[in-house]
Amino acid sequence: MSIEDDVALLERVPTLRLLGSAALRMLAIGSEQRDVARGDTLFKQGDEADCGYVVQRGALRVQDNSGAEMTAGPGSLIGELALVVAMRRPSTATALEHSTVIRIARSLFQRVLESDPAAALRLRDEFANRSAQIASDILMAGAKLNT
């Protein structure tokens, strides 16, 4: 795929779209493409996480030890938090079919944010809004359980 194709794919990812075209272009240029064969593991729960992945083609199952799982297809961002903070993988990602992902290193992502403070602020605001929504959802669920 061309850089323009990669930028178009990154624009489909809601979190990344907030960064704007110039930042997405830098991510597309600096990222790397990886192929994952059907049945192969992209990463395992507990692995050190230093990047996020955007599914370009195919599908991956993302599953944690509790059995919770989701299927990530084209345009899905896996490991979003690893783009901004050092952590361990909370789940395992396995290819359901031959898949291609774009690997975005945390170091690259942070350089892009440092070079575009307005994009960093948009991303911070998005994370703050999500955190507030999660807190509200937890309070509402707790209130329902207590009635």
Instruction: Residue 31: give its domain's CATH number.
Output: 2.60.120.10
Residue 102 lies in a domain: yes
Q: What pLDDT digit, counting tens, does each position of 27-71 carry? A: 999 999 999 999 999 999 999 999 999 999 999 999 998 888 999
What is the domain extent for residue 20? 3-116
Report if residue 125 sits inside a domain: no
Q: Is residue 103 part of a domain?
A: yes
Residue entry with tokens 């809004």: 129
- Tell whether 137 is covered by a domain: no
Instruction: Calculate the alpha carbon distances from 56 to 29, 77, 114 in Å.
Output: 15, 10, 26
What is the pLDDT at residue 127? 80
Give pLDDT, residue 33: 96
The first and second tokens of residue 84, run together, are: 């901004």
Phi-psi region at 121: left, alpha or beta (left = phi > 0; alpha = psi -120 to 50) = alpha
Widest Cα–Cα separation across the chain: 56
The pTM score is: 0.86
Is 135 domain-assigned? no
The answer to the question of residue 31 being in a domain is: yes
Domain count, the chain: 1
Question: To 10 degrees, what angle do helices 117-145 and 106-115 make?
Answer: 120
Distances from the Cα of 99 to the Cα of 73, 93, 102, angstroms: 9, 12, 10
| Other residues' Cβ atoms within 10 Å of the Cβ of residue 49 | 18
Is residue 129 a part of any domain in this protein?
A: no
Which residue do the tokens 């993988």 mark? 89
CB 26 within 8 A of CB 105: no
